[in-house]
Structure 1
């Protein structure tokens, strides 16, 4: 079974045992969190949410708090001596998916 979850205004297709990198979450390494914004459950009988699937959740463990590689932003206007160089590193949280849970009776 797989699920499509939303975290940090992005959607991720996850299976049990997968590792994903989402936008930074305020959680310590080693803690278990629950993602409740499940948009779709797939597999044998697919369940599509409107907009989310009631009674569905995904549990994950925080494995890392880190930063992506630096991205350089360089602006220049020709013949004017205008040059600006800036860098940016985005924070992320790495999650290991422990389980996908669905209780159809809790949906009603």
Structure 2
């Protein structure tokens, strides 16, 4: 029985549970499309029942990722209103993202 290795990484102030081969949209990082990057902020590595936690990072663990695309998420509409006060405010926001594919997890 083969267990898939997974890891918990931290990038852009967020934490993601990743598996090799999956695609993921993360906070934007300045990198060209097609380049390979290594993420060394690995908080935990696991396979099946065994899991290794870092304190705070797992030593020597890295994750190789490939940049697939740079883009922007859908628009989020922000609407503020105070009832009976004649106050309405409309605002929109589109967050940038970087789409990556996990190439390998090196523990």
**Is this a same-fold pair by TM over 0.5?**
yes
What does the per-residue CA deviation read over 1:44-101, in whole Å, with 9 as the maximum and x for residues that have no partner?
5321100000110000000010111001111112223211100001111111000001
Residue 9 of structure 1, CA deviation: 1.0
What's 1:31 paired with? 35
What's 2:85 paired with? 80
What's 1:19 paired with? 23
CA distance in structure 2 between the aligned counterparts of 1:49 and 1:5, rounded to whole angstroms? 11
> Structure 1 residue runs of 4+, over 4 Å off?
none
The count of corresponding residues between Structure 1 and Structure 2 is: 102
Secondary structure at 2:71 match in 1: strand
RMSD: 1.0
| Structure 1 residues 1-108: aligned runs within 5 Å | 1-44=5-48, 45-102=50-107
CA distance in structure 2 between the aligned counterparts of 1:11 and 1:77, rounded to whole angstroms? 36
Secondary structure at 2:77 match in 1: strand
